[in-house]
Chain A
Amino acid sequence: MSPSKLQNQRSNNPENPPHANPWADYETHPQAYDELLDADGGVRPHYVRLMDALGRFTAAEMKHRQETCLRFIQEQGIAYHVYSDPRGMERPWQLDPLPFVLDPVEWRRLEQGLIQRAVLLNRIIADCHGNQDLIRSGWLSPALVFAQPDFLRPCHGIRQPQNRYLHFYAADLSRSPDGQWWVVSDRTQIPTGAGYALANRLVCSRIFPESFRDNNVHRLAGFFRKVQAAMSGLAADSSEPGKVVMLTPGPHNETFFEQAYLARYLGYMLVEGQDLTVRNNCVYLKTLNGLERVDVILRRVDDDFCDPLELRNDSMLGVPGLVEVVRAGRVIVANALGSGLLQSPAFMSFLPGLCRHLLNEDLRLPSVATWWCGQKKAQKFVLENLDRLLIKPAFRTRMSLPDPEKRLAEGEKAELRRKIAFDPDLFVAQERVQLAHAPCWEQGRFVGRPVGLRVYLVADGDSYSVMPGGLARVAPAANGQFISMQRGSCSKDTWVISPTPVEEFTLLHSPLQNVELRRTGNNIPSRLADNFFWLGRYAERADATARLLRSTLLRFSPEPVGGSLPVLAPLLQTLASQGQMEHAIRPESWFCRPEAFEAELFAVIFDANRAGSLRQTVDHLQRLAMLVRDRTSNDMWRVLNQLGEELTSNAKKSVVLMGDAGSVLSQVLLGLAAFHGLARENMTRAQAWRFLDMGLRLERAIYLGSLLDGVLQTPDPENPSLLEAVLEVADSSITYRSRYNLIPSLPSILDLVLLDDKNPRSVLFQMEQLAKHFDRLPRDAEESVASGRKLLRNDLAALRQAGSGEQGCLGPGSSMEPVGLALRQTLNDLPRVSDLIAAGYFAHSTISRTGREQAP
């Protein structure tokens, strides 16, 4: 078909020069259904409005919108972890700007089919975990259940409220050339992607705001309101709103972004297994204030990993003892443990019969033709048609099969035949579907790409509600047969349009609802407090390191100047004292070889593999930011992300000049200033902030203290150039000048940088802040808090005492010895204070298993 009607569209708009028409190359696939154009090349009615708008865009305008799309994704930090991608967790989410549009009438039909299917699957799971009538009466082949690693025997017989196993369900749909939708796979374990669909919507509705409005696109928020209702309805005790948490496998999971995003959007705490504990047959969250009961766990951990005691014992992602609590009905896990069973494609061939048997209805939404080799006839058919079928493992296994995108070699075919014949239960074959094509934006033009759609359902009363939309995904190549984000597919926002204006939903509570006012956000999990504490420490460590290095670079010149040596020694020694520069102990040696010294400095800044380098510190910082992702603002995340970019992009340059390095350090410091500003101005003064600030104060006191200690130990501590450098590192030059207008002297510097309680960069200031924090720590750890408080008070007293000198203050000729002693005492105590905080609040013991002794 020639894209004649699209060409016509262009001619309606004389402003567009022909060569800029991005639709010029759009071609329909001869065999595939085209989502945009009908058989005659006309735009399908539900795409007309969108095309009216898009047809007016030049390539340049489309490019601009796509760039905006990319920018939004970057700003929101939307990411997906592709396991094989070296960028790992930083890989940005792939979103094609063009939405996938669905006709309202067709959507209604799909909805009905999906609801029926969810109800059916739920009934089957319930039976498999209960009486197993379907198996005993021959409706379901026993091997389908018993051979599955996903049939969790310890979960058999556990009663679910309302017999509900599937709270969430998703289906992958494909459209065949005749326009019929087919279910390609059922997602019953952890239906992922609804959060990405939401993120896509927020981006896409902003790129095409006019079209979004004009098309009356159904909002997604209503669906998430139903998710909240479904979860809170599950809480066992109805007198109080139940506590719902989202259980994550952690930041290394491919969809961690989505988990943090959804947790924040739905208002649930994102927890890892180690944040939860089982006591008295209930599940509790370990918080700074003690244990808090959990009623509902929305899990993003595979069910067999949820309890190392009764389920898979080689994983520590879950909560020991959880199954027993579920058995007692004192916590609800959604989806129920065991619901992964129905994810096997082998069930598909049984669904039409089961639907008639269980629901007395015909299956409305067909599955793609599926043959499970556990049945004799099916096996025979599969072996005869190996070439044209798609062979898949029937169950979740580590079995490796030939690449389905390539033709099988004769040897491979024989091997596959042998495997199927030996253990037929493990294999399923499916028809290869010719996927429908949808328009996508690719390198400055519109092209057709194979498309699939994932749709989402949530339990609603005794039925289900469907999210009006979904996650459409397109294969990267025109002849692609498989769609998976792991294989480099790209996603699309999905618009279910309406002929009439749609209801505006928002997740904000209605003002009439009785909301109990709260000002506390105290109950954060101990693990999060730990992460915030280290976020503070690493942020300040990066700050101090960058300042020390910047001052070093400024004073270092390849022409050896004897005078700069004594100035640099204390700076480098401070870095060395924190294990960041081992060789700096004797800087004299480096001065003989300025190139080596320069290389050493660059390594301390840029080398990711070097312990304590600025780059590594920033890496730690980003990792921690990832761990508290659901607890911090997007701005904070972006600021930290950019820090890393500065360091990595410069490190890749072939030549890095001293000046470049200096400006990188300044950029990093600016970024850190933004981070500190956000922390100070945008975080409520709750426990998260308190632990962050404690970390920061502690680290700053350590660096400043070490620097001053280094100065006191140099042969000539009165050296004005050295003192100038100290002021620079302590960011106190301006204050100093406004006070003294003199060449720096040691007593005045010590007064300002060590003892001045008004200077936010003095050691004493940090100590006072720390002492204040200690007074407001949660009461749970009396002993550690008391010891820490005592240490801080003693140090403060010693510093003040040393500072009062003979004339009540430090003056010319005062002995520096008492100051030095107090300083060293403080430096000695600070790591102990840190340990006490950790012992009091972060004590997460590791768990281990016992009792797997071999029987003789």
Chain B
Amino acid sequence: MTFAITHQTVYEYEAPVAVSHHVARLEPLSSPFQSCGRFELDILPAPGLRKVHSDYFGNRLCFFAIQESHSRLEVTARSLVTRHSIPTLPAPASPVETEGKMETDTPWEQVLEMFRDPVSPQVVDPYQYIFDSPQVRASMELADYALPSFSGGCGLMEAVRDLNRRIFEDFKYDVKATTVATPLEEVLAKRRGVCQDFAHLGIACLRSMGLPARYVSGYLRTHPPRGKPRLVGADASHAWFSVFCPGSGWLDFDPTNNLQPGLEHITVAVGRDFGDVSPVAGIVTGGGSHVVKVSVDVEPLDKP
């Protein structure tokens, strides 16, 4: 399945911005399940400095600085991404046949044991995702919430699938309930939030159980209502979480939609939480207040 994706972010500043520095994480990751064929990043006004490198988590990051006075900034990312149902590259020591479906589901306690100090060098990389990060802190309360999904001897996949379902059922999707700064405790108390909150919640529950989990940002193909044409630009960026399963690597779960991402989820970046993958972050000098408009378009190129 191949998609042409356009992700445009426009900032309109109340007053001229003298100088600004930004970091963009908009280039979709390449992974066994996904290849990014083409990527273009257009920035207006043209940045005086532009550099691309990989960040600590392996995401492609573009640093740019605009050094002329401007009151509008337009960042447009265009990418061509193909999703594969069968990995094109072998996952490390992977016995899996298809994404998300393991032949055997390791009991979660066994996985937990793997991540107890001292951990073997083979799992040092996923081990990094067990610890608190700025926006996701483990707590006994979260462990209590997660616990019913983790019955004794239960397979890790089965447990996480159940947790994913419970988040979907227990929490109401409500764009007005939270902001980017709402702490997880409040989300848990209100039982409301958006995809970012649910992803953080899933991660926090898993970490509170002592399991490694990470944040995934990306896009989700949307289907127009039956009989209606697809609206261009009406899509949005999306977020979900991923859990590390020994033998198969990172496996994704989307608690907002109660499913395991398949061919219609496109990954852009991964990190410990939203703070690590924020698509366009910047510090501007001057500018006053600003409004931002984001539009995302995910266009399937293959005939259904």
- When distances are taken between beta carbons in the complex, the residues of chain A under 8 Å from B114 are none
B241 adjacent to chain A (CB < 8 Å): no
From A309, A418, A855, residue with most partner B Cβ within 10 Å: A855
- Find residues 285-329 in chain A having any chain B CB closer than 8 Å to their own CB: 308-310, 313, 320-321, 324, 327-328
Q: How far is the CA of A854 from the CA of B273 in the complex (A)?
A: 12
B23 adjacent to chain A (CB < 8 Å): yes
B49 adjacent to chain A (CB < 8 Å): yes
Q: Could you count the A-B residue pairs with CB atoms below 8 Å apart for me: how many are there?
A: 141
Which of these, A375, A849, A856, contacts B283 with CB under 8 Å?
A849
- When distances are taken between beta carbons in the complex, the residues of chain A under 8 Å from B67 are 279-280
- Find residues 261-304 in chain B having any chain A CB closer than 8 Å to their own CB: 274-276, 278-287, 290, 292, 294
- Find residues 9-60 in chain B having any chain A CB closer than 8 Å to their own CB: 9, 11, 18-19, 21-23, 48-49, 51, 53, 55-57
B124 adjacent to chain A (CB < 8 Å): yes
| Docked-complex contact A855 and B237, CB < 8 angstroms | yes
| Docked-complex contact B195 and A277, CB < 8 angstroms | no
Report the minimal beta-carbon distance from B168 to chain A, rounded to whole angstroms.
15
Report the minimal beta-carbon distance from B21 to chain A, rounded to whole angstroms.
4
| Docked-complex contact A309 and B23, CB < 8 angstroms | yes
Which of these, A154, A308, A853, contacts B292 with CB under 8 Å?
A853
A135 adjacent to chain B (CB < 8 Å): yes
Report the minimal beta-carbon distance from B83 to chain A, rounded to whole angstroms.
20
A156 adjacent to chain B (CB < 8 Å): yes
- When distances are taken between beta carbons in the complex, the residues of chain B under 8 Å from A418 are 140
- When distances are taken between beta carbons in the complex, the residues of chain B under 8 Å from A147 are 131-132
| Docked-complex contact B290 and A142, CB < 8 angstroms | no
| Docked-complex contact A847 and B284, CB < 8 angstroms | yes
- When distances are taken between beta carbons in the complex, the residues of chain A under 8 Å from B250 are none
| Docked-complex contact B124 and A851, CB < 8 angstroms | no
A425 adjacent to chain B (CB < 8 Å): yes
- Find residues 838-856 in chain A having any chain B CB closer than 8 Å to their own CB: 845-856
A211 adjacent to chain B (CB < 8 Å): no
> Contacts A847-B285, A855-B274: A146 and B238 contacting too (C-beta < 8 A)?
no
| Docked-complex contact A280 and B278, CB < 8 angstroms | no
Closest partner residue, chain A, to B73 (CB atom): A850
From A147, A280, A376, A853, residue with most partner B Cβ within 10 Å: A853
B258 adjacent to chain A (CB < 8 Å): no
- When distances are taken between beta carbons in the complex, the residues of chain A under 8 Å from B292 are 850-851, 853
What is the interface residue range for chain A against chain B? 35 or more
> Contacts A278-B65, A856-B236: A425 and B131 contacting too (C-beta < 8 A)?
yes
A423 adjacent to chain B (CB < 8 Å): yes
- Find residues 148-191 in chain B having any chain A CB closer than 8 Å to their own CB: 175, 178-180
| Docked-complex contact A309 and B56, CB < 8 angstroms | no
From B18, B49, B239, residue with most partner A Cβ within 10 Å: B49
Which of these, A142, A154, A157, A852, contacts B119 with CB under 8 Å?
A142
| Docked-complex contact A135 and B282, CB < 8 angstroms | no
Report the minimal beta-carbon distance from B240 to chain A, rounded to whole angstroms.
10
A422 adjacent to chain B (CB < 8 Å): yes
| Docked-complex contact B278 and A851, CB < 8 angstroms | yes
- When distances are taken between beta carbons in the complex, the residues of chain A under 8 Å from B57 are 153
| Docked-complex contact B56 and A138, CB < 8 angstroms | no
- When distances are taken between beta carbons in the complex, the residues of chain B under 8 Å from A310 are 23
| Docked-complex contact A851 and B280, CB < 8 angstroms | yes
- When distances are taken between beta carbons in the complex, the residues of chain A under 8 Å from B63 are 321, 324
- When distances are taken between beta carbons in the complex, the residues of chain B under 8 Å from A328 are 51
- When distances are taken between beta carbons in the complex, the residues of chain A under 8 Å from B282 are 309, 849-851
Which of these, A138, A321, A851, contacts B118 with CB under 8 Å?
A138
> Contacts A142-B124, A847-B283: A852 and B278 contacting too (C-beta < 8 A)?
yes
| Docked-complex contact B283 and A848, CB < 8 angstroms | yes
| Docked-complex contact A153 and B118, CB < 8 angstroms | no
- When distances are taken between beta carbons in the complex, the residues of chain A under 8 Å from B294 are 853
Closest partner residue, chain A, to B294 (CB atom): A853
| Docked-complex contact A280 and B236, CB < 8 angstroms | no
A141 adjacent to chain B (CB < 8 Å): yes
| Docked-complex contact B284 and A156, CB < 8 angstroms | no
Closest partner residue, chain B, to A850 (CB atom): B282
Report the minimal beta-carbon distance from A138 to chain B, rounded to whole angstroms.
6
Which of these, A132, A281, A320, A375, contacts B117 with CB under 8 Å?
A375
A-B contact pairs, 19 of them (CB 8 A): A132-B124, A142-B119, A146-B130, A147-B131, A153-B57, A280-B67, A418-B140, A422-B143, A845-B286, A847-B283, A848-B290, A849-B281, A850-B280, A851-B279, A853-B294, A854-B179, A855-B217, A856-B195, A856-B196
Query: What 7 A-B pairs have minimum CB-CB distances, sorted nearest first?
Result: A320-B283, A153-B56, A845-B286, A321-B21, A147-B131, A851-B281, A854-B180
B-to-A contact residues, CB < 8 Å:
9, 11, 18-19, 21-23, 48-49, 51, 53, 55-57, 63, 65, 67, 116-119, 121, 124, 127-128, 130-132, 134, 138, 140, 143, 175, 178-180, 194-196, 199, 217, 236-239, 274-276, 278-287, 290, 292, 294
Extra contacts besides A418-B140, A845-B18, A848-B283 (17): CB < 8 Å:
A135-B124, A142-B117, A142-B119, A153-B57, A153-B276, A156-B56, A277-B19, A313-B283, A320-B283, A321-B65, A321-B283, A375-B117, A846-B285, A847-B283, A847-B284, A849-B283, A850-B281
